[in-house]
Structure 1
Amino acid sequence: MKKVSLKYRLEWIAVRIVMAIFRLLGRKNAASFGGWLARKIGPRLGVHRVARENMTTALPHLTGREVEENLMRMWENLGRNVGEIPFNRDILSDTESVEIVGEEYLDAYLDSGKSAFFVTAHYGPWELVALVGRRLGARATGIYRAANNPLVEDFFQEMRADPNYSFVPKGNEGARTILKAARNGGAIVLLNDQKLNNGLAVPFFGRDAMTAPAVAEISYKMDVPIYPMRAERLEGGRRRFTIYPALDVPKTGDKATDVYALLKAINETYELWITERPDHWFWVHNRWS
């Protein structure tokens, strides 16, 4: 067994304590406490400046006051996401508090027998993307970014484990899983809105952003449809999860042109969602530099 540093062990202990406190508080109180705490701590962190710069540049129509209000709600959303971690499986099973829109597109995918991508952004209560995995069962695999700390990673996977839905970390294993699913009628669920240093420069809110090309390349080469999906917070602790129709895949015959156009369409989809609800996106990520 690989030796784990003292720093990682201390982080693991701290995470377990925090998650235990959240569980003791109960789902509703844990989410509220997480949101309150994030609003108190978030604006004091260096990344708050990054988030302000990102939002101000991407959404110049917002006034300074609107930017600050949206940033505070962003922190609350992130805090609520953390507070809800111990309860994610309960939330996924709570048909009373989660509204699902666009289930017909899941049915169309199942009837087709083809492979498919289901893509989303770090937007709202994004752990709801696991609903697609639960609905599709063994045909679906979620691709995620593993925690740097292996002890924390194992702990999170214990809480996330679902006998009907598998998770695979990004990297070589994730790439192999995606190709296998594309060849065998599987569904890949992933968040693909973050920066990839060796990706393609594609416009995002008017500025080039290094964008992971794999989804578009596989879609183009193997005729795999891409279904956007987004999770939103509603009043009274409710949530809405929407699956949208598959994006049109350009077919000019020029691979580079078509892949670029498809990536641009994905980014534009996220732009619409973020413009509609700026507080829902993960602005602290330095998407453009």
Structure 2
Amino acid sequence: MSTEADDRPPFRLDHFLVNLAARGLIGLALALPYRWRVGFGGWLVRRVVGPLAGYRERARANLALIWPDRPEAERNAIADASLDNAGRTLIENYSTTAFQARAAATEPQGPGYAALIAARDEGRPVILVSGHFGNYEAARASLVARGFEIGGLYRNLRNRYFNAHYVRTMEAFGGPVFPQGRAGTAGFVRHLKTGGQLVLLFDQDVPTGAALPFLGRPARTALSAAELALRLKAELIPFFAIRQPGGLDFRVELDAPVPHGDPETMMRQVTAALEERVRAHPGQWFWIHRRWKGRARV
């Protein structure tokens, strides 16, 4: 007879030890006052984790690919800012109570906010789509504080020990969260069909995606957010949480809903909205991702 334990991946000492170290550092950061811990999280990823894990090298390579004409010193500064933002984002997401309190004080802006309110009041579904920029969870927390039931979709991490508490941090923001896969897809479709709202992040490489231009280079992009919006007659609203000077607060912007059409055209518009923010605040996008992983080598 099979059991739940039988279905678990085999024990991996390296993953177990990495999780122990990560939990220790997160615990150390959480012992600090909020302002200090967020700064410490940024410093830790920028100065220690990023260089050791190869994230700084990857960010610099991506920047050299996209902006080869910019001075190297400028690209390096953007890479460091990106690592700092990633570290701040991680520890913010573990600081549930304090982070939610700050996010609750942030009033969303933009034409998409009125469209979101109207859809909720009329019982129509909404897909909020964004990229790994600023801290996207700040927008979800701000909206949850205003009575929205914002669901989330996540990709399970390879390290199952770290993944267990990582998922709990997302659940703590309120609103249901669903894992990628058949069961998760069924869950968030049901949530949308009842007039719920869902957050999707679209800016990671998808081998089966369409080659859409992103920052001047083709990037394999999933069309699923647009396809789902068309299938369920849902609003598709780009949103962004832009980190403000000082590094602790955010401006939450919701763009006007993307007009329904063919999925590729819709996702081109979503991509253009992200490009606009990345160009304005380049250090807030996660350059550490392999966004152009499937590009042709030149």
Q: TM-score band (shorter)?
A: 0.7 to 0.9
Deviations 1:181-216 (A, max 9, x none): 343322111211111111222221232211112111
Question: For residues 137-156 of structure 1, what are the structure 2 equivalents within 5 Å?
Answer: 137=148, 139-156=149-166
Query: For residue 244 of structure 1, what is the aligned residue in structure 2?
Result: 255
**Any idea what SS the aligned residue of 1:197 has?**
coil
Q: Distance in 1 between matches of 2:106 and 2:267?
A: 29
Name the SS for the 1:105 alignment partner.
Answer: helix
| One-letter identity of the residue aligned with 1:270 | L
**Residue 296 of structure 2 aligns with which residue?**
none
1:225 Cα deviation from its structure 2 partner: 1.3
- Describe the SS at the equivalent of 1:20: helix
Residue 215 of structure 2 aligns to which amino acid in structure 1? Answer: F
Root-mean-square deviation (CA, aligned residues, Å) is 2.3
AA partner of residue 177 (structure 1):
G
Please give the secondary structure, in 2, of the residue aligned with 1:208.
Answer: strand
Corresponding residue for residue 254 of structure 1: none
Query: Which residue is equivalent to 1:172?
Result: 182
The alignment status of 1:85 with 2:56, answered yes or no, reads: no
The partner residue of 1:13 within 5, 15, 20 is 20
Higher mean C-alpha displacement, 151-160 vs 31-40: 151-160
CA deviation digits over 1:162-181, x for unaligned, max 9? Answer: 38411111122232233323
Question: Aligned residue for 1:261?
Answer: 265
1:215 maps to: 225
Q: Residues of 2 paired with 1:163 and 1:206: CA distance?
A: 35
Tell me how far apart the structure 2 counterparts of residues 198 and 133 of structure 1 sit (CA, whole Å): 33
Residue identity in the other structure for 1:248: P
C-alpha separation between the residues in 1 aligned to 2:105 and 2:85?
Answer: 17
Structure 2 partner of 1:253: none
Q: Is the 8 A contact 1:58 1:205 kept in 2?
A: yes
Distance 1:245 1:141, change over 3 A: same
Counterpart of 1:159 in structure 2 is: 169
The Cα shift of 1:270 comes to 0.9
Distance verdict in 2 for CA 1:109–1:63, change over 3 Å: farther
- Do structure 1's residue 278 and structure 2's residue 285 form an aligned pair? no
Secondary structure of 1:50's aligned partner = helix
Q: Aligned partners of 2:65 and 2:103: how far apart in 1? A: 38
Task: Give the gaps of 5 or more residues in structure 1.
Answer: 251-257
Aligned amino acid, residue 83 of structure 1: I
**2:268 is paired with a residue of what secondary structure?**
helix
Task: State the TM-score, normalizing by the size of structure 2.
Answer: 0.85
TM (norm. structure 1) is 0.87
- Aligned 8 A contact 1:133 1:189 in 2: no
CA spacing shift, 1:167–1:221, aligned 2, 3 Å: closer
Number of aligned residue pairs: 281
Q: Structure 2 unaligned runs (5+)?
A: 294-298
Structure 1 160/136 Cα, relative in aligned 2: closer, same or farther at 3 Å?
A: same
Alignment match, 1:66: 74
Q: Which runs of 4+ in 1 moved over 6 A?
A: none
Identity within the alignment, %? 26
Greater CA drift, 90-99 or 75-84: 90-99
Equivalent residue runs for 1:110-125 within 5 Å: 110-125=120-135
1:41-87 deviations in whole A, cap 9, x for unaligned?
32465332332232233235633222122112111111212232321
Distance 1:216 1:95 in 2: 28
Q: How far did residue 269 of structure 1 move?
A: 1.1
